[in-house]
Structure 1
C-alpha cells in the first residue's frame, strides 16, 4: 500500500502545553478568527480527516507554544504512543539565543525532531506590530542557521513575499542547511499585480538549490479559495522549484477554517500533474525530512 505524506500540519492539547494565541479569546489573527480551532486538536481527529484521503504519515510543525521544548516533548509522546503513524516534527528554537548549542543538543535527544522553525514573517500588518522581520538584521540569526545545519537539522521558513529577496541573501550565506519554504511564501495579495510580484520575488529563493517549497496554507489569505484561484500559485511553484523540491501540506487545523480535508486533497490531486504526484505527495517530504515510512515512496494517485 502507498500513501501521501502531509508535510505541514499542527496538533495541540491545551491541557498539556500552553499556547498563548489559542488562549487569547476574541483576538483576530492575520488568517482570520481562530475561535473555531481554539480547542484541542489531537492526532486522532487529524487522522480521521486525513487518512480517508490517503495520508499515511505526516510532519508536525511547531505552532506557537510558550515553550518550544514542552511542545516538542509532547509531540514526541504522541508519536511514541502512535507508532503505526510515521511522524517527524519541526520545533521552535530561537536561533539567536546565546544558549542555542545546548538547546539544539536537547532537541536532538527527541527521535522525531528533524528541523527548526522561527517565523520571519506572517503578514505585513501583524509583522509591523510584532517586529518579527527584525530577525533578518540580526547577525546571530545567520550564525544560528549555520549551526542548525551543522547538526543536520532543516529550517522551515515562513515569511511574506516582500522579504524574499532579503532572506535569500541571508540564506545564500548558509548553503548547507535544508530550507522548506512554508505556504508557498504566503502570497497575501492575490491580485494579478500581487501574484506577479510574488512570483518575481520567489525566484530569489527558488534559485537557491537548498530551498524547497510547500504547497500549504493557501487558504489563510483567500478564505473563499477555489481550484482556479490557487492554480496560478501551484503552477508557479512547480515551474520554479520543480516537483522534486515541492511538497504538499494541509496546514490543518488552521486551514480547516476555510475548507475540509477531502476538498483540499482533491484540488491538489487535480492541480498537480500526474507525473509529479509521487514527488509532491510523497518522495520530496520523505527525502527532505528523512522520514521513515513502512512503504515504498510512491503516490496513491496513479492507481
Structure 2
C-alpha cells in the first residue's frame, strides 16, 4: 500500500442479528441494522477514501472473527482491530490464533463501558500484553478523560506497546466549551507528553457534539489535538456508522479536511492516510 492512499482509520461493520452487541438496541434506529462494506463504499469513494481500518464493536472474539471474515473478502479493509479477553488465561493463545490472519492489526478492550475505570491499570495479564508486543500488534484505547491516569500507568508499564487513543478521548463537546473543556484538555496534554509517542485518532468528535454542529463547534478541539499530538501522530477516522447518529460521512470528512487545511500537504497526507498505514502496519 503506497503512503498516499487515503485511509479511514476507524469505522465499524456489524449485524445486530449476530446477538453480541449489547449496546446496540432497537431504540437507536439509525444504527440498528446491518452495515457492511457495500454500505460504506459509495460514501468513502465520494470522499476519496480507498482503504479502512475496521474496529470491533462487541466484546467477543466471535465478532472479531466475523470482521476478519469480511476482511478476507474485501480489499477495501486494510486492517481489523479486534477484541481479546486480555484478563483471561487463554488471551495469549487467542492472540496467536488471530495473528495468523494478516489483516489482524490491533486489539481494543471497550474501556469506556467497563464498570471499573481503573481496569486497564491492573487487570490485563502481563503475558497477554507482552504477546501483543511480540506479535507487533497495536492497542486501541477507547477512553474518556476519567481513564487517563490509569491509561498512563498502563502505557508506562509497557513502553514497547504501540497505543492509539480513540476519538480524541471523547471530549464532551455537547456540554459547550466552558463545561466540556476540562479535564479533557489536560488529559490530552498528559497523554501526548508520554515518551512512547502515543498516537491519537481525529475521530468521534462529531458524535460527541450537539446536533447541527458546525466546523466552528469542533475547531478548538481539533486545534488542541493538533497542538499536542501534531500532524505526525494524528489519524483521521469516520467512526461510521456511529457517526450517523449525529452527522454524516461527507460532512465530517469535509470538516476535518477544512480544519486541517492550514497544514502542509504532507502533514494532511499523514493525518488522512500515512500515519494509519505506518501505525497499524497496513
TM-score by length of 2: 0.89
| Inter-partner Cα distance in structure 1 for 2:71 and 2:119 | 31
Once the two structures are superposed, residues 46-76 of structure 1 have per-residue CA deviations (whole angstroms, 9 ceiling, x without a partner) of 11111110000010000015x32x2222222
The match for 2:208 is 221
Question: What's the counterpart of residue 14 of structure 2?
Answer: 12
Would the alpha carbon gap of residues 237 and 187 (structure 1) be closer, same or farther in structure 2, given more than 3 Å must change? same
In the TM superposition, residue 164 of structure 1 has moved relative to its aligned partner by 0.9
The residue aligned with 1:167 is 151
Whole-angstrom CA distance in 2 between matches of 1:78 and 1:231: 35
User: 3-state SS of the aligned residue for 1:121?
Assistant: helix
1:260 aligns with 2:260: no
Q: Residue 164 of structure 2 is aligned with which of 164, 175, 180?
A: 180
Q: In structure 1, how many angstroms separate the alpha carbons of the residues matched to 2:127 and 2:112?
A: 19
Map of 1:43-82 to 2, 5 A cutoff? 43-64=37-58, 67-68=60-61, 70-82=62-74
Shift, 1:120, TM fit = 1.8
Whether 1:277 and 2:268 are equivalent positions in the alignment is: yes
Distance 1:47 1:132, change over 3 A: farther
When the two structures are aligned, how many residues end up with a matched partner? 273
Alignment TM-score, normalising by the size of structure 1:
0.84
1:135 to 112, 119, 124: 119
Whether 2:218 is the aligned partner of 1:230: answer yes
The SS at the match of 1:90 is strand
Q: Distance in 2 between matches of 1:169 and 1:6?
A: 29
Q: Are residues 1:147 and 2:135 paired? A: no
Q: What RMSD in Å do the two structures reach over aligned CA positions?
A: 2.0
Does the CA contact (< 8 Å) of 1:135 and 1:141 recur in 2?
A: no
2:90 alignment counterpart: 99
Q: Give the CA deviation at 1:193.
A: 4.6
Aligned residue number for residue 204 of structure 1: 190
5+ long unaligned stretches in structure 1: 27-33, 123-129, 292-303
Q: CA deviation digits over 1:9-61, x for unaligned, max 9?
A: 0001344x3333366333xxxxxxx2221101010111111111000001000
Deviation at 1:79, TM superposition (A): 2.0
**Which whole-Å deviations, capped at 9, do the CAs of 1:188-223 have from their partners, x for residues lacking one?**
254325314211111221112331000111123213
Mapped to 1, the partners of 2:25 and 2:222 lie a distance apart of: 33
Match of 1:297 in 2: none
Pick one of 27, 38, 42 that aligns with 2:32: 38
